[in-house]
Chain A
Amino acid sequence: MRLLLVEDDPDLADGLAAALGRAGFSVDRVADGKSATDALEAQPYDLMLLDLGLPRMDGFEVLRSARARKLTVPVLILTARDALEDRVHGLDLGADDYLTKPFELAELEARARALIRRSAGNPAPDVRVGELTIDIKTRTARHRGEPVNLSPRDFAVLEILAAKPGHVVAKDRLVNSISTWDKDFSENSAEVYVHRLRKKLGPLGIEIVTMRGFGYLIRVAPQ
């Protein structure tokens, strides 16, 4: 996966290039907007990491000219600006995602992979929670290779909770997503299904935590 890193701060660029290189990306570095435009012209990239405050031509300008030339390369903006209007402006100009400095390396890697995956037309890979693998296409789940017995409703609940392991899913979001195809699914039955799923996953070392007022969260049960 070829990645164009546009960042004028040499320390940050060094660190990013080294870390992303280790993570399996091949990284081309440029330090100003003009060189970024030239690099995009010269060859296709799977992803561009773009700083906004750049010499010679700022990040917004690079983005505008790339989109004007119909380049569809996914763009992840990295910037010290976190004002809402900057963020909206960047996304309006055709950026795909936005990370504010300082960011976690792990988050950058995850977002970079997600953007590349999405642009490759494969938005939903297998989802894992601990040793539980969830296959969206076949709508089955396996634990250490063994199939787990789940009803279609159980699976629907699991699919939504597991999309962001460790993050909370609001109850009304859960109800809304499932009731679009299952009219009988209501706020009360959500609790019933979460309870059932919890009983099935508990022995596998996976827990569903109720966060009062927020919703549910799936995670590997602490030892």
Chain B
Amino acid sequence: MSRAPSLRRGLLARLAIPLLALIVADAGLSYVFALRFANSAYDHWLIDSARSLAAQVKAEGGQATLRLPREALEVFEWDERDRIVYKVSSVTGELIIGQRSLAVPEPSRELQHPAFFEGEFEREPIRGVVIRAKPSGIREPIVIAVAETLHKRKSLAADILAIVLVPQVLLLLAAALLIWSGITAGLRSLVQVSLDLARKDHRDLSPVPMRDVPQEVQPIIARTNELFGRLEEALHAQRKFIADAAHQLRTPLSALKLQLESLERERLPEEIRGRIASLKNAGGRAIHLAQQLLTLARAEPEFDPQRSFADVDLVSVARDTGERWIPKALEAGVELVLDAPDSPVRLTGDPTLLSELVSNLIDNALRHGRDTRTITVRISGTPRPSLAVEDAGPGIPPQAKDRVFDRFYRADAGSGEGTGLGLAIVKEIVSAHGGTVSIETRPQFAGTRVLAVFPAVAPTVRRER
């Protein structure tokens, strides 16, 4: 999963990388401008300082001299953060006062016109100004330079840079957050779609609802729904084929059965009679299997069993169906008992399928409840309509319990009888009626008990039809 491209990460990367580059470029540019701004602010002070120094230069015997009291010098040189150095010299380079080691470039030819310079003083970068002045009474002009280290300037530039950059970074973060949450919100409808898909069982091929799905995703869902539609058709055709095939088998199987039955009535040698009996047995099983396949196909959702639903009395279905099994039960030495309330137990269903349900449960109990003396069909109307068929047979092994409702699964595979479809049909019929089916066996129940519980009838809804 983590290797798959992520919409969120992809979009964020596409946005964040260029934006980040832009911010870096912008920061560089801003810093240059900020430094220029800081320079122009502090350069004024440098000029002022140079000019006020120039004003203090006096002529003494034709010689330019500068005498400053110690306090004044201290005030001049004092600065909170930067070191300030000066140098006053003659045009020919003779030092009058100040730092001899301060390297000063050639000043402008024009008097009082400042020329700025950058350099190093005692291994620290500095910026300074140099002017040419001609105090009154002096023949030759003098050169005055004032320079300072760059701490104030850099810190101002850094402050300006921060003021510009912080909002930009905040903007980038906000954009990333908005994109992340925007995509998350956009994907939420996809989560709904995936929940809709997850909730489907393997037979539900109805289209996924398109509501609230973003336009961009709609084509995917539309194609998925189309695929569902085609699958549904194919499945339907396949099940219809099974129903048709089972149906078509009936006539030839009838012919087979009939011929064998009339053959049985002939005078025949004992050996041939035995063979006819086993042919008849095989024919009977084929007929039973075809019938079971047909019933199964009819109970499946594709056949839409609900269209033939009506108001049914479970007690009369169980009584009518049970009656048909009495001769067979008596023949097997089993007492078939109906335990039902005197009043009808109503439910909404298909009487033919419900009758098949009862038949299959009794058939199953007769086949597998070996040595049981009784089989009880128990109907109850409370709290919900239910039907149970119980035998006192050997029960089913625990490992088979979860599988008995599977198609073609037979707990006692060796016995040769039965189609393995009986309980699958039971499950299908019960679920077509919106009910649930469960099985209890030894040791919890003394034998085997299959219980089908149906939803209670909503009495008013049915009348509308």
Question: CB distance A9 to B251 under 8 Å?
Answer: yes
Question: CB distance A15 to B262 under 8 Å?
Answer: yes
A104 → chain B, closest Cβ, in Å? 7
Question: CB distance B262 to A11 under 8 Å?
Answer: no
Question: CB distance B326 to A214 under 8 Å?
Answer: yes
Q: Which residues of A contact B247 (CB under 8 A)?
A: 80-81
Question: CB distance B258 to A12 under 8 Å?
Answer: yes
Chain B CB within 10 Å, residue with most, of A9, A82, A213: A213
- Find residues 159-212 in chain A having any chain B CB closer than 8 Å to their own CB: 166-168, 170, 209, 211-212
| Interface membership of A121, Cβ < 8 A | no
Chain B CB within 10 Å, residue with most, of A102, A103, A214: A102
| Interface membership of A18, Cβ < 8 A | yes
Question: CB distance A217 to B326 under 8 Å?
Answer: yes
Contact of B252 among A9, A22, A212, A219 (CB under 8 A): A9
Question: CB distance B326 to A16 under 8 Å?
Answer: no
Question: CB distance A214 to B250 under 8 Å?
Answer: no
B336 → chain A, closest Cβ, in Å? 6
Question: CB distance B261 to A209 under 8 Å?
Answer: no
Question: CB distance A102 to B340 under 8 Å?
Answer: no
Chain A CB within 10 Å, residue with most, of B258, B326, B377: B258
A216 → chain B, closest Cβ, in Å? 11
Which B-chain residue is minimally distant from A222 (CB atoms)? B330
B43 → chain A, closest Cβ, in Å? 106
Q: Which residues of B contact A102 (CB under 8 A)?
A: 250, 253-254, 257-258, 287
Which B-chain residue is minimally distant from A210 (CB atoms)? B335
Q: Once the chains are docked, how many angstroms separate the CA of A81 from the CA of B369?
A: 32
Q: Once the chains are docked, how many angstroms separate the CA of A105 from the CA of B260?
A: 10
Contact of B254 among A103, A167, A170, A213 (CB under 8 A): A103
A217 → chain B, closest Cβ, in Å? 6
Which A-chain residue is minimally distant from B323 (CB atoms)? A168
Q: Which residues of B contact A80 (CB under 8 A)?
A: 247-248, 250-251, 254
| Interface membership of B58, Cβ < 8 A | no
| Interface membership of B411, Cβ < 8 A | no
Q: Once the chains are docked, how many angstroms separate the CA of A22 from the CA of B322?
A: 34
Contact of B258 among A15, A81, A209 (CB under 8 A): A15
| Interface membership of A84, Cβ < 8 A | yes
| Interface membership of A101, Cβ < 8 A | yes
Q: Once the chains are docked, how many angstroms separate the CA of A212 from the CA of B329?
A: 13
| Interface membership of B337, Cβ < 8 A | yes
Q: Which residues of A contact B248 (CB under 8 A)?
A: 80
Q: How many chain A residues touch B (Cβ–Cβ < 8 Å)? A: 32
Question: CB distance B337 to A101 under 8 Å?
Answer: no
Question: CB distance A84 to B327 under 8 Å?
Answer: no
- Find residues 80-108 in chain A having any chain B CB closer than 8 Å to their own CB: 80-85, 101-106
Contact of A213 among B256, B287, B340 (CB under 8 A): B340
Q: Which residues of B contact A213 (CB under 8 A)?
A: 319, 322, 337-340, 377
Q: Which residues of B contact A156 (CB under 8 A)?
A: none
Question: CB distance B319 to A11 under 8 Å?
Answer: no
Which A-chain residue is minimally distant from B333 (CB atoms)? A222
Q: Which residues of A contact B462 (CB under 8 A)?
A: none
Asked if A214 meets B338 with Cβ closer than 8 Å, knowing A19-B261, A84-B308, the reply is yes
A31 → chain B, closest Cβ, in Å? 13
Question: CB distance B327 to A166 under 8 Å?
Answer: yes
Contact of B265 among A22, A85, A166 (CB under 8 A): A22
Q: Which residues of B contact A9 (CB under 8 A)?
A: 251-252, 254-255
Which A-chain residue is minimally distant from B287 (CB atoms)? A102
Question: CB distance A211 to B254 under 8 Å?
Answer: no
Which A-chain residue is minimally distant from B329 (CB atoms)? A211
Q: Once the chains are docked, how many angstroms separate the CA of A19 from the CA of B259?
A: 8
Contact of A12 among B255, B287, B330, B339 (CB under 8 A): B255
- Find residues 1-45 in chain A having any chain B CB closer than 8 Å to their own CB: 9, 11-12, 14-16, 18-19, 22
A88 → chain B, closest Cβ, in Å? 12
| Interface membership of B352, Cβ < 8 A | yes
A106 → chain B, closest Cβ, in Å? 8
Q: Once the chains are docked, how many angstroms separate the CA of A168 from the CA of B322?
A: 10
| Interface membership of B351, Cβ < 8 A | yes
Which A-chain residue is minimally distant from B316 (CB atoms)? A170
Q: Once the chains are docked, how many angstroms separate the CA of A83 from the CA of B322?
A: 20
B254 → chain A, closest Cβ, in Å? 4
B334 → chain A, closest Cβ, in Å? 11
Which A-chain residue is minimally distant from B256 (CB atoms)? A11
Q: Mark A126-162, 1 if CB is under 8 A from B, else 0.
A: 0000000000000000000000000000000000000
11 contacts between A and B (CB under 8 A): A11-B255, A15-B255, A80-B248, A80-B251, A85-B308, A101-B253, A102-B253, A102-B257, A105-B258, A212-B339, A219-B330
Give me the interface of A with B, judged by CB distance under 8 Å.
9, 11-12, 14-16, 18-19, 22, 80-85, 101-106, 166-168, 170, 209, 211-214, 217, 219
Give me the interface of B with A, judged by CB distance under 8 Å.
247-248, 250-259, 261-262, 265, 287, 308, 319, 322-323, 326-327, 330, 335-340, 351-352, 377
Q: Which 5 pairs between the two chains have the least Cβ-Cβ distance?
A: A213-B338, A11-B255, A12-B255, A15-B258, A102-B254
